[in-house]
Amino acid sequence: MTDQSGSNSQWTRRSTLIGGSALLLGFSPAAPAIARSRPVGVRRLAFFNLHTHEKVDVDYFADGRYISDGVQALDHFMRDVRDGKSFRMKRDLYDLLFDLHTRMRTNEPFHLISGYRSPGTNAWLRSIGRGVAKRSLHMSGLACDIRVPGRSTGQVWRAARGLQRGGVGLYTRSKFVHIDIGPVRYWGS
């Protein structure tokens, strides 16, 4: 069988199981075109920032190592938009988001609500009663809040929980999912 990139591909038991799991979670079994056209081992992330309307779409990992320019572009994109401060986000967070995007089987970019949060911004959000943790993992580059166009927050939450690699919070009223690489735990409202 030939995929869109012209290379040979073949169905495996693993791909069939992944497709079946996707159906149970309510996702399309067809792999996104972008995933099929990427060389094996290349990781790419795409985001749209709901506050600034900026976009980023970069390869951040290839040939067994992180790509400096790609990671720096993601770190800048994840900056605290209230004060403009950037932070070196943990690479495991990017890898978790890459795996979540693959699991969601979508071509849509993540919609970012919050990435890095400076201590000043975190304190301000707490003071206005936004339900923000005093020691939020956002301040350590370990967390972000996202949406996935075309997917409900419940679908994103279940897919992220299924990865079992950190904290996953469901915020149905605000329509976003919190993802972090801290201890495995789940919550929802």
Domain assignment present for 23: no
pTM of the model: 0.78
More reliable by pLDDT, 118 or 37: 118
Compute CA distances 94 → 59, 90, 106, 110, 175, whole Å: 11, 7, 17, 12, 21
**In the chain, how many domains are there?**
1
Domain assignment present for 25: no
pLDDT 10s digits, 140-154: 999 999 999 999 999
**In the prediction, which pLDDT does 39 show?**
58
Domain assignment present for 22: no
pLDDT 10s digits, 66-107: 999 999 999 999 999 999 999 999 999 999 999 999 999 999
Domain assignment present for 155: yes
Q: Which residue range(s) make up the domain with 125?
A: 42-188
Strand arrangement of the beta sheet that strand 176-180 belongs to: 65-66, 55-62, 43-49, 110-114, 143-147, 176-180, 167-171, 185-188
Structure token pair of residue 156: 């994103």
Confirm if 133 and 139 have CB atoms less than 8 A apart.
no
Domain assignment present for 175: yes
Instruction: Supply the CATH number for residue 49's domain.
Output: 3.30.1380.10
Q: Identify the top-confidence range among 14-23, 25-34, 68-77.
A: 68-77
Compute CA distances 49 → 68, 71, 78, 186, whole Å: 21, 17, 9, 25
Domain assignment present for 103: yes
Domain assignment present for 28: no
Domain assignment present for 7: no
- The model's confidence at residue 4, banded by pLDDT at 50, 70 and 90, is very low
**In the prediction, which pLDDT does 129 show?**
81
Q: What percent of the chain has pLDDT over 70?
A: 78
